[in-house]
Amino acid sequence: MSNRRAISLPLGLLLAACLSWSPRSRAATEPDVFALGVGMQRMPSWPGAKSQHSEPVPYLDIELPGHGSFSTLDGLQVELFRGDAWRGGIHGDYQWGRSRDDLGSLGGKIASLSPRINLGGYLEWQLNRQVDVGGSLSHDINGAGAYLELYAEWDPPPLGLLEQSFELRWQAMNAPAMNRFFGVTPQAARALSIPAWQPGAGGQLASLEYELFVPTSRRTGVALALVYGRLLGDAADSPLVARYGSRTQLSESLAFVYRL
């Protein structure tokens, strides 16, 4: 989902358990990364919303080549196999729902949604040291939602001290997940004076993300992330989005980071 926030404690504990296991091979030429910090994130109030809200968020980025990674932006990856170009393993993410406070004037008229943890697998093809493409397939561990994500990432050479990254993503959902976020029940339709809506499976979001890291000392710096997204298919056509939301989904985050 595009509505990303700080990854929760359950995934952090899962990270510690999984990354303590050593796979058969390790990418010795890639350095480990340990970074933590704190910042602010501005994002849509709920998936599909036009309004935005800001909140403080922790920043955490752990990359252990040959083992996996854990990030408050991208979730958990545990590497189970690695070849010359291919690698894959376990993928996990924390998906926020929408609280009554998030919904504002819509609160009580459409259902609030509790957070969920998604768990599945990923496969990634590294074209070269700067470009990789991949995908992940995951399912709610406490629900019926299933999610497919395809992505391509480019890390251009550093521009002086500046480190940049561009990522293009396409996300799809099955019908239960699409209905959970973008469906409109007959009861909600009457309360909101919009048509009822029961979307099916399909593409949900396409997004472009830009990340920038600006060093302020040998171990500290400022991390910026900008995401421009557009809802697709039945998500974009939802009367809830058409009347009260927006097909355009923007989010921004800024954090002060310390690299260990």
Q: How far is CA 169 from the centre of its chain?
A: 10
Tell whether the torsion through CA atoms of 215, 73, 113 and 247 is positive or negative. positive
Question: What are the pLDDT digits (tens) for 223-260?
Answer: 999 999 999 999 999 999 999 999 999 999 999 999 99
**Which among 75, 158, 81, 85 has a CA at the least distance from the CA of 116?**
75
Partner residues linked to 3 by β-bridges = none
DSSP letters for 172-196: EE-HHHHHHHH-B-HHHHHHHTS--
Question: How many CB atoms are located within 10 Å of the residue 162 CB?
Answer: 12
pLDDT bin (cut points 50, 70, 90) of residue 2 is very low
pLDDT at position 152 over 90: yes
Which residue shows structure tokens 């935005």?
52
Question: How many CB atoms are located within 10 Å of the residue 55 CB?
Answer: 10
At residue 66, the pLDDT reads 87
Partner residues linked to 24 by β-bridges = none
DSSP letters for 13-48: HHHHHHHTS--S---TTSPPEEEEEEEEEEEESSTT
DSSP 3-state of 102:
helix
At residue 254, the pLDDT reads 97
User: Residue 1 corresponds to which amino acid?
Assistant: M
Question: What are the pLDDT digits (tens) for 33-66?
Answer: 999 999 999 999 999 999 999 999 999 999 998 8
> Model-level pTM?
0.86
Alpha-carbon span 83 to 126, nearest angstrom: 10
Q: How many Cα neighbours within 13 Å face the side chain of 230?
A: 5
At residue 23, the pLDDT reads 47
* C-alpha pair distances (Å), 214 with each of 56, 61, 70: 20, 15, 21
Q: Looking at residue 260, what DSSP letter applies? A: -
Q: How many Cα neighbours within 13 Å face the side chain of 260?
A: 10
Tokens of 217: 């000392």
Question: What are the pLDDT digits (tens) for 90-135?
Answer: 999 999 889 999 999 999 999 999 999 999 999 999 999 999 999 9
DSSP letters for 210-257: EEEEEESSSSEEEEEEEEEEEE-HHHHT-HHHHHHB-SEEEEEEEEEE
Q: Is CATH 1.10.3720 the classification given to domain 9-259?
A: no
Alpha-carbon span 116 to 135, nearest angstrom: 20
Question: What are the pLDDT digits (tens) for 202-223?
Answer: 999 999 999 999 999 999 999 9
